[in-house]
Amino acid sequence: MALPQQKLDATGARLAAMSLPEGGAWISEARTSARARVEAMGLPHRRDEYWKYTRPETLVEPGAREASTFETYEPTVFGEIDRLKIVFVDGVYDAEASDELSLAGVEIEPLSEAGAKDIHWARDLYGVLETRGQSPVERPLAALNTAYAADGMVIRVTGKAEKPVSLVYLQESTSSDAIFHHVVKIEAGADLTLLENGPAAARLNKVMEVEIADGGAFHHVRTQGRAHERRAATHIFARLGKESVFKSFTLTVNGALTRNEAVIELTGDDAVAHVAGAALGDGATGDFHHDDTVFITHDAENCESRQVYKKVLRNGAVGVFQGKILVKDGAQKTDGYQISQSLLLDDDSQFLAKPELEIYADDVVCSHGSTSGAIDEEGLFYLRSRGVPKDIATDLMVIAFVAEALEEIEDEAIAADVLSRLESWLQRRRG
Amino acid sequence: MLEIKNLHVELEEEGKQILKGVDLTVESGQVHAIMGPNGSGKSTLSYVLSGRDGYTVTDGEATLAGEDLLEMEPEERAAAGLFLAFQYPVEIPGVGNMTFLRTAVNAQRKLRGEEELSSGDFLRLIRAKAKTLKIDADMLKRPVNVGFSGGEKKRNEILQMAMLEPKMCILDETDSGLDVDAMKLVSEGVNALRSEGRSFLVITHYQRLLDHIKPDVVHIMADGRIIKTGGPDLALEVETQGYAHLLNEEA
Burial pattern A340-374, b for ≥16 Cβ within 10 A else e, equals bbbbbbeeebbbbbbbeeebebeebebebebebee
pTM: 0.91
Strands B225-230 and B55-64: unpaired
Q: Is B90 on the interface with A (CB under 8 A)?
A: yes
B75 with B139: CB under 8 angstroms?
no
The SS3 assignment for A217 reads strand
DSSP state letters, chain B:
-EEEEEEEEEETTT--EEEEEEEEEE-TT-EEEEE--TTSSHHHHHHHHHT-TTEEEEEEEEEETTEEGGGS-HHHHHHTTEEEE-SSPPPEEEEEHHHHHHHHHHHHHHHTTPPPPPHHHHHHHHHHHHHHTT--HHHHHSEETTT--HHHHHHHHHHHHHHH--SEEEEESTTTT--HHHHHHHHHHHHHH-BTTBEEEEEES-SHHHHHS--SEEEEEETTEEEEEE-THHHHHHHHHTTHHHHHHH-
- Closest residue of B to A406, CA-based? B94
Residue of B nearest to A399 (CA): B94
Residue of B nearest to A396 (CA): B95
Cα–Cα separations (whole angstroms), residue A37 to A33, A139, B133: 6, 10, 67
Yes or no: say if B162 and B133 are a contact pair by the CB < 8 Å rule. yes
Per-residue confidence band for B249, with pLDDT thresholds at 50, 70 and 90: low
**B33: β partners:** B202, B218
Per-residue pLDDT tens listing for chain A (431 residues): 688 999 999 999 999 999 999 999 999 999 999 999 999 999 999 999 999 999 999 999 999 999 999 887 777 899 999 999 999 999 999 999 999 999 999 999 999 999 999 889 999 999 999 999 999 999 999 999 999 999 999 999 999 999 999 999 999 999 999 999 999 999 999 999 999 999 999 999 999 999 999 999 999 999 998 899 999 999 999 999 999 999 999 999 999 999 999 999 999 999 999 999 999 999 998 899 999 999 999 999 999 999 999 999 999 999 999 999 999 999 999 999 999 999 999 999 999 999 999 999 999 999 999 999 999 999 999 999 999 999 999 999 999 999 999 999 999 999 999 999 999 999 888 86
Looking at every residue in chain B, the average pLDDT score rounds to 90
Residues of B in contact with A389 (CB under 8 A): 75, 107, 111
Q: Is the dihedral of CA B200, B206, B211, B217 positive or negative?
A: positive
Q: Any chain A CB within 8 A of the CB of B147?
A: no
User: Shortest Cα distance from B246 to chain A (angstroms)?
Assistant: 34
Report B:67-86 residues touching A (Cβ under 8 A).
73-75, 77-79, 83-84, 86
Q: Is A38 on the interface with B (CB under 8 A)?
A: no
Fold category of B2-250 in CATH: Rossmann fold (3.40.50)
Given this model, what pLDDT does residue A431 score?
64
Cβ atoms within 10 Å of A213's Cβ, excluding its own: 18
The Cβ-side half-sphere exposure at B119, using a 13 Å CA radius, reads 3
Complex ipTM, two decimals?
0.95
Assess whether pLDDT exceeds 80 at residue B104.
yes
Torsion of CA A2, A58, A132, A213, to 10 degrees: 180
Cβ atoms of residues A270 and A242 within 8 Å: yes
* Chain A CB contacts of B159 below 8 Å: none
Secondary structure (DSSP) of B130-179: HHHTT--HHHHHSEETTT--HHHHHHHHHHHHHHH--SEEEEESTTTT--
Q: How far is A279 from chain B (nearest CA, A)?
A: 16
The pLDDT tens digits for B135-146 are: 888 888 899 999
Q: Identify the burial level of A166 via C-beta atoms within 10 angstroms of its C-beta, where 0-12 means exposed, 13-18 middle and 19 or more buried.
A: buried
Element spanning A180, H or E: strand A177-186
Averaged over B157-177, what is the pLDDT? 92
Q: Show residues of chain A in contact with B100, CB under 8 Å.
A: 383, 386, 388, 396
pLDDT at B239: 81
- Alpha helical stretches, state H, A42-149: 57-60, 111-116, 128-132, 140-148
B88 pLDDT more than 60: yes
Across the interface, whether the CB atoms of A387 and B104 are under 8 A apart is answered yes
Phi, psi for residue B217 in degrees, rounded to 5: -135, 140
pLDDT band per the 50, 70, 90 thresholds, residue B250: low
pLDDT at residue B28, as a whole number: 93
- The pLDDT of B18-27, averaged and rounded, is 94
Q: Strands, DSSP E only, in A267-392? A: 272-282, 289-298, 304-314, 318-327, 335-344, 350-359, 365-373
**Cα A336 to Cα A332: distance, rounded to the nearest angstrom:** 11
Chain A touched by B102 (CB under 8 Å):
no
- What is the reported pLDDT for B243? 81
Contact A418/B at CB under 8 A: no
Identify the DSSP state of A284.
G
First to last CA, chain B: 31
